[in-house]
Amino acid sequence: MVDGTPSGIITAEIMNWTGHVMTAPRTRLPDLIKRSEIARTGVYFLTGVNPEEPTQTFVYVGESDNVAKRLVSHNKDETKEFWDKVCVVTSKDQNLTKAHARYLESRLISIVSAAGRASLVNSTSPEYGFLPEADLADMEFFIEQIRITLPVLGMDFLREKPRVDDSGVMQKSSSASTEFWENKSPVFIIKSPKYGLFAQAQQIGGDFIVLANSHARSSWESSAGGYRNLHEQLVREGRLVPDRDGLLKFKEDTTFNSPSAASATIFGRPDNGRITWRVKGTNKTYADWQNEQIVSDASIENSDDE
């Protein structure tokens, strides 16, 4: 934290990586562009919330051989009023060239699009692969380090979609240089004979994921707002599509930030998903299951102390 506050300018590095990451709110742009690192060649992300859909994050990915000048230009651009935070990635050894930056931009746009955690503002998606083989390998490693660093800074739009299957209780990341195992829950279900609803979900890492082909009410049925905007957003984006008997169906595995966000979207009204979701084949609620994990972890810690 450059000025000692978490809401100011923040720098981040990884040992033995030549990359240098810097984030700042748009309000601190005058201070950010004074730093020497920002005048280098690099890539950058402009992020902000869609004012009409508070649950939706906008992201613009760009590159420049002088990021500071490009940011000044964006700050004057009325078509990019959405952003309230910027993240800049440059190189500490200053060996990042314009060709490298163009390749990084192209790949990062593709990754943001595939991850589906934010909406891209970029009007084009340039394809750029004109690098020597050794440089391509270096840039892919560079990208992996960016994908490690940004979530720590509160930006998760580069995180790959969790993969859901029926085997085991753990899952391995497919990232080339960042292999690790993520906690994976049992399958949770929701049933509603009254509406003919049936939905399944799993928690993988920090994501609560409703599985494809699960059902939801066709519209928001409550006068209370709750997750109305999220329900309508998923319909507009084509992730909830019409199905039988006036119900909607999840076209793909869909990530939510909590069990309640998922169950409310399914029922079309506010709902406490911690109680509604049940472990498949049992009457155990999500809350019961989570409490068991806490007790189990505490038992392990106590046994270590002994």
Render each residue's pLDDT in the chain as its tens digit; 306 residues: 888 877 789 999 998 899 999 999 999 999 999 999 999 999 999 999 877 776 778 999 999 999 999 999 999 888 888 899 999 999 988 889 999 999 999 999 999 988 888 888 888 777 776 888 888 999 999 999 999 999 989 898 888 776 665 443 334 444 444 444 455 688 999 998 888 899 999 988 778 899 999 999 998 888 777 788 888 888 988 889 998 888 999 998 988 888 999 999 999 998 999 999 999 999 999 999 988 887 765 544 554 555
Sign of the dihedral defined by the CA atoms of residues 111, 114, 115, 116, in that order = positive
Cα separations in angstroms, 89 against 42, 73, 119, 157, 300:
6, 18, 20, 15, 40
Angstrom distance (rounded) from CA 54 to CA 297:
35
Angstrom distance (rounded) from CA 275 to CA 289:
10
- Side chain identity at 114, as an amino acid letter? A
Q: Are 189 and 202 in contact (CB under 8 A)?
A: no
First to last CA, the chain: 39
Angstrom distance (rounded) from CA 290 to CA 275:
11
Task: Please state the pTM of the whole predicted model.
Answer: 0.68
* Cβ-based neighbours of 223, under 8 Å, separated by 6 or more: none
Angstrom distance (rounded) from CA 267 to CA 260:
10
Q: Are 26 and 84 in contact (CB under 8 A)?
A: yes
Greatest Cα pair distance in the chain:
64
